[in-house]
Amino acid sequence: MTTNQTTKSPPIGGLLWPHEIAFLALLAAAFYYTDSKFRGSGSGPVLIFGAAVLAAFPVLAYRCKEEWRLLPNKFFFFMLAAAWVALFTFLGNSTFGYVDSASLFAWMFDMYTSPLSDSQYCLMLPFVVLALFWWKRKELVAQPLGLWWPGSLIVAAGLFMHLVAYVAQQPRVSLIGFLTGLYGLTGLAWGKRWLKASIFPFFLLAFCLPAGEAANGFTLQLRLLVSWIVAGIAHLGLAPDLIRDGTQLFDSEHTFGYEVAAACSGIHSLVALLALTTIYGFINFRSPWKRAVMMLSALPLAVLGNVIRLCFTIAVAETFGQSAGKAVETDAGFITFAVALGCVFLIARWLEKTETKTPPAGEAAGA
């Protein structure tokens, strides 16, 4: 009875609280200052973005008031988490030749906002993960929660990774160490059942790892595959005189060309699409094989989307001229994701149909 009296709907359209409007304004400002034109303007943009990430926690806690009251060891966890974040803020980055800051988070922000980067989507992931924790809030607090000292071993493993990476000047490994330790702190404060229940939202933070030089070889193979497929399709009648040279496609006189650029067809579209299919798969399916199908579909769909985009660009150029083709090539990057997203939903629908035909394990056992 008391709960019914104290539960209130948000006053703004029944959806938002006043402080959430302020948070959304801060979030909009944070993303505005991630534009590459603000690079080199000091620490302001990264501080604004960090403030938005930190502000998301009390906003989430207020949204989960009932679950928040049931969560034990909150002060213990957040004190340790604050110390963990402080370590990576003041002793997180040793590659001062690239980013003149000791903060691992400043290095990450620089990687994500670089005009040459294909990791801008990483900026959204902390907020996506927090939203998924809100989605799983009832399942999380339903676990037997309490201190679990073996979690400190996970924290120690994260600290060891960071120390080695700091000496070797490998900030990507330090980022892995940071995420490992943070995950261990949640287990230390709330137990191994919490670790198991929260592994999916937390796993998504692995996509925050910027793709480095090691990914270039794989990216090149994707680009070569896309260019080879497009050239084959073009020779069937779309553009019979098309010439392929590596990842570049030219007309017979080499007066106009199309390049399968890494930013369009490589790691950028693949990793972002993989993150999307992972989220969709884990939210909608419990079967491991169905989740695996959704995740594995990212690779062929990224290739398919880029093949269709380039074929469409070539068709426009052949029909309306080179200037029209160039405009499409510059502005039609959305086609890659539009095609991929459409296929994602088609695959999901097929998986949902197979799920309805298969009786739950409990019913099958009862029968």
pLDDT above 80 for 303: yes
Compute the distance between CA of residue 346 and CA of residue 159 in angstroms, rounded to an integer.
Answer: 43
248, 227 contact by CB (below 8 A):
yes
Per-residue pLDDT averaged across 105-114, rounded?
91
pLDDT, tens digit (0-9, with 9 covering 90-100), for 4-22 = 445 678 888 778 899 999 9
Q: Count of CB atoms within 10 A of residue 214's CB? A: 8
Q: Count of CB atoms within 10 A of residue 37's CB? A: 9
For the chain, what are the domain ranges?
11-210, 215-358
Compute the distance between CA of residue 157 and CA of residue 19 in angstroms, rounded to an integer.
Answer: 38
What are the φ/ψ torsions at residue 267 (nearest 5 degrees)? -60, -35
pLDDT, tens digit (0-9, with 9 covering 90-100), for 198-232 = 999 999 999 988 876 556 667 778 888 888 998 99
pLDDT at residue 2, rounded to an integer:
42
364 — pLDDT class (breaks 50, 70, 90): very low
Bigger pLDDT: 100 vs 200: 200
Tokens representing 11 are 């006053």
pLDDT at residue 226, rounded to an integer:
87
Per-residue pLDDT averaged across 295-307, rounded?
89
pLDDT, tens digit (0-9, with 9 covering 90-100), for 250-293 = 877 766 677 665 545 455 667 888 888 999 999 988 898 999 99
Per-residue pLDDT averaged across 110-130, rounded?
87
pLDDT at residue 329, rounded to an integer:
66
pLDDT at residue 129, rounded to an integer:
95
Per-residue pLDDT averaged across 226-244, rounded?
88
pLDDT at residue 1, rounded to an integer:
38
pLDDT at residue 358, rounded to an integer:
46
- Between strands 248-250 and 257-259, the pairing is antiparallel
67, 137 contact by CB (below 8 A):
yes
Per-residue pLDDT averaged across 83-110, rounded?
91
pLDDT, tens digit (0-9, with 9 covering 90-100), for 328-355 = 766 666 777 788 888 999 999 999 887 6
366 — pLDDT class (breaks 50, 70, 90): very low
pLDDT above 90 for 86: yes
pLDDT at residue 154, rounded to an integer:
97
Per-residue pLDDT averaged across 133-144, rounded?
94
* pTM reported for the whole predicted model: 0.83
Tokens representing 269 are 């579209």
Which residues sit opposite 250 in a β-bridge? 243, 257
How far from the centroid of its chain's Cα atoms is residue 208's Cα? 6
Q: Which range (152-161, 170-179, 206-215, 270-279) has the least confidence?
A: 206-215
Mean residue pLDDT of the chain comes to 85
146 — pLDDT class (breaks 50, 70, 90): very high
326 — pLDDT class (breaks 50, 70, 90): confident
Strand order in the sheet with 243-245: 243-245, 248-250, 257-259
Handedness of CA 206, 207, 209, 211 (dihedral sign): positive
160 — pLDDT class (breaks 50, 70, 90): very high
Tokens representing 121 are 């989507």
pLDDT at residue 69, rounded to an integer:
94
Cβ neighbours of residue 175 closer than 8 Å, sequence gap 6 or more:
104, 108, 208, 209
What Cα–Cα distance (Å) separates residue 70 from each residue in 201, 294, 317?
Answer: 20, 34, 62
HEC profile of the chain: CHHHHHCCCCCECCCECHHHHHHHHHHHHHHHCCCHHHCCCCCHHHHHHHHHHHHHHHHHHHHCHHHHHHCCCHHHHHHHHHHHHHHHHHCCCCCCCCCCCCCHHHHHHHHHHCCCCCCHHHHHHHHHHHHHHHHCHHHHHCCCCCCCCCHHHHHHHHHHHHHHHHHHCCHHHHHHHHHHHHHHHHHHHHCHHHHHHHHHHHHHHHHHCCCCHHHHHHHHHHHHHHHHHHHHHHHHHHCCCCEEECCEEECCCCCCEEECCHHHHCHHHHHHHHHHHHHHHHHHCCCHHHHHHHHHCHHHHHHHHHHHHHHHHHHHHHHHCHHHHHHHHHHCCHHHHHHHHHHHHHHHHHHHHHHHHCCCHHHHHHC
Per-residue pLDDT averaged across 86-108, rounded?
90
Q: What whole-number percentage of the chain has pLDDT above 90?
A: 50
Q: Which range (147-161, 239-253, 302-316, 322-336) has the least confidence?
A: 322-336
Comparing CA positions, the residue from 262, 249, 265, 224 lying closest to residue 318 is 249
What are the φ/ψ torsions at residue 9 (nearest 5 degrees)? -85, 150
Handedness of CA 240, 243, 248, 251 (dihedral sign): negative
